Structure 1
Amino acid sequence: MSAPAPAEKGYQPLLVVIDPAARRSDGESVRIAKDVLCARSCGSVKICLPDGPEEFARALQRRGSRRPVVVGDDRALLRAVSVLHRERELASSVLSLIPVGTLNQLAQALGVPSGTVAAASAVLDGEARQLDLLVDDSDGVVLGDLRIPALPAAAHGPDPWWAPPLRTCQSLVRTLVRPSPAASPGPSRLRVEVDGVTLVDLDQPVEDVSVATSRGGFARIEVRPTSVGAAAPALRARARSVTVSGPDFRYRADALTAGPVRTRTWTVRAGAWALTLPR
């Protein structure tokens, strides 16, 4: 007997991995997602309830022939792609996502329905779309875009947007040290190279660097130089790789903040992963 055609996704067994944060934040949406998948899927559905990132990764690694369905927010999707990328199984997998949680901007930008029933229906009735990926030189992945902002305010100024949730420790320090007036964020001095060509060098302070995947296996790069008086025009380029170097800098990739680093290279992998989206 021949195997079902790839288009008959409804007959393919599913592994539904429910992120613990989704269960905590919106248990009712999780229940609805399970009910829709179990009621409408023509194949078997295995539900996995990992307690943390390690169990989440093990569930994906042991999925066998089951198609992975992630129930969670942007961070859960990024975790799933990262696991499959590290296992070198991303190219042979088709991921599905049912957004549940508070951080779903990336899912919406990718075209995943925001409603639980609509997203679960897309898992069964949708089609796989090949998407580009940014991979850095530490084997990290970026699904949407990344930003390198200006340097944060001075240590005693307001908390920068990338600061970890250390409110208790910060409160203790502030009772012992009188903070100085808040300082404004300052410009960064970075070298930005696109496909080996320097777009901006260390002698030109910049306020912001953004990188995002574009069509056709290219990244879209935009650098905003620091303006004095009249606004300086943004520098834009399309390239297959971008390298940023200079003094220690942090960057925000998708929903996560990384660094500090002194140099990092991101390379576009065209059609590196597949996500089920509505037809």
Structure 2
Amino acid sequence: MTFSTLSLTDETRGAATYAVARLNRPDVRNAIDQAMVNDLHAVCTDLEERPRTLVLTGCQIDGTNGPRGIFASGADITQLRERRRDDALRGINSQVFDRIAKLPMPVIAAIDGAALGGGAELALAADFRLGTPGTRFGQPETGLGIVAAAGGLWRLKEVTGEQLAKEILLAGRILTGEECRDSGILLSLHSPEDLVDAAAALAERIAAQDPLAVRISKRVFSMPRDAHPHVDELAQAVLFESQEKFDRMQAFIDRKKK
């Protein structure tokens, strides 16, 4: 597949095969424009057709003290300024972020540097977020006269709780990497050199599980409270008939006998 704003590769670690998508618009700090939205939709199509865990990360940009990481600095303001009511109703960014969140296998965001505005909302669409001390996370939309309409207004409070989410959304607070970890936005912190490897290690742990059980668990996890426990029982009924369930449980029993 050919992309103009990112790269997509399959990589392996141990017995695990996973996809790595690297955002690559360093000249504009990985600002999310229409071309990147199109590329992210194409990535989703590939992963929907051939499910595997996705590691989503950024690139490096030149700084005054040498190269530094950048995840995504937000939506491309030059395009965003020209959008009108009908563009907002199309949900240009929110639709692709929601599609990423609903991918069949987990998504791991490996975040170094800025994840701001649309970049923060892209990160929030992932199932797991790993970062570095240099991670900076925020939703500066109200300072630009708009709202965080691509997931920030509802996903953020599910992660941080209402009070901190409101400070980020209404007062423009930018969190450091350590604050992101302590508030639950980031699962863990790593050095920039180890970040993608840590994401790969998590992908390997996911790959050690039964893929069907992972897919079903992810889908059921996101369902509303009033769907449970009925949907859990239906999911379990499907898995109870899976040959993988019998094989894995028999292997467990055999190991216990040794």
Q: TM-score, normalised by structure 2?
A: 0.29
Larger radius of gyration: 1
Higher RCO, 1 or 2 (CA under 8 Å, sep at least 6)? 1
Higher helix share: 2
Q: TM-score, normalised by structure 1?
A: 0.27
Higher strand share: 1
